Structure 1
């Protein structure tokens, strides 16, 4: 008789949701099946369609066959150190994030419990969200205001973040225009509505401090990634010289990199569950943040598997100081999920079914496989 948690197969694949999807618009999924038919799903970072991480998964997949899925930490650490010379920042931890989420999904289904129960229980099962509104670099002030107003009416979010998504090679390109957009959005929502500003790494230290001072005057509650993420010293300098909370670490892939950012002076970190090593990695970040007295506000842009995994982690955090991220909305992936996470009255409900709690329509995923 087969053991229910022995791994039988591991598949890693891209999904193209529409016929004309460019590689960067595709999703990177993993599917792990046990000998007893338990299926776990995971998701890797979608950068360049996630193909770099999927390549790593395909390489290690045969070594997992016959392993016990409940030997979760051993499998994770063994693979991390097997591939450590490939990074580990980037493709490796993105691959392990996908595997980790799938193994947690299997574990929850095996014990017939939602993941948040296995993590210690939920402080909350409804998670408020902020609307993360991108591509404002290329918009006029009036266009920025219109798109923010539309999201406010459509979603009633708990907060708004305006993202720039600009050209990182054009540093300090239009600081007066950026401040004008920030001011116009403040005028739209009123004095008390929570606002955040994501620079997407487009300023010098001096430029970031100039913009940060203006955001302080406008009552913004955080200033995200003002300088290049890899310049940890500069990020810490900006964080320490401004009163507004400076956030960073969405582009950190290891707990050690998050600690470096904290040690530099950043007091709000935003690791991403599908980059940081999955649920295990994000829970490690939660412990680190608790020990250092730092806010953990995970970055998260994926609407299905990554999103559900992130909600399970957020449910377990005692001091959740900011809403969860809800990026530019799209329902095009919902076709492969019977119960995709959907916003309602400014909140998401944490899935309560076993594992991730998602009902995945595998036939639809397979039909869209690249």
Structure 2
């Protein structure tokens, strides 16, 4: 029997828009809500409706309270717990999931103690609000760095990890506790912002079981429902969790082109208790984030490209869209990347070369 499903989303950015887009073929009414603009409007939320979020934090207002206090706000307690790096890291320790050694920067800790504990480079991260490279501060012994006064009790200190590369795993947990996963994704960050992703990659297959065990432990420990992303460092032949995102995630955008069920549809299926099964990978994909650059209709001339444009004001460092490039043919991908190198600005040359190197050297 068919049932009407309505899903409200705390936030109306690009993730909310893509959730809405994914809901349309399934006749799921997805309603992203602007929670950044204060409003006293009473939302027509019914008892049977489901609530999710596209972000971990939001300002308190009558609108956000209507959504976040609803009986079907799925994963409600999880968002705040993972939005705070102190409670997120504490959770990883409780669950014995590997992560970088860390501690709270309290009133008593000194840089010298941190250097003694973690080495001559220590990364401070604000407990909340930091993303895309923001909210981070390096302590370096050679520079006699100081802990910023207003960071005490508001930050954690992490050991600097000399990692080989960055990967992420996007998985889903159903209401009856099954966990399913996409293949590991290889990621490249520049100035703390994700620039490109490649998935799947055969050379990462041997890490898949370890990654799935880690994310299963986390999602089961939280009794989580829906899609979650786990960003990791690969150090040798093992993984360390860097960060968790209790939502659909930038590094899963490739699934829109490469899989028969995208991360957005998978999230909605789990939230609405619709059938969920192992996503099939149709072909390998490369995702290129579009950061602070104007829309270029020449991208549409690339035969293996799909453009997702967020229709946001273009500002430096802002994610304004992404390109999904299908890899049916390595030579065709190389032609596409070389064409993009001609069209895209200087900050894209290194990420595009990184993509080429992956397909030329493996």
Q: Give the structure with the higher percent helix.
A: 1
TM-score by structure 1 length?
A: 0.24
Q: Which has the higher contact order (CA 8 A, sep 6+)?
A: 1
TM-score by structure 2 length?
A: 0.24
Q: Give the structure with the higher percent strand.
A: 2
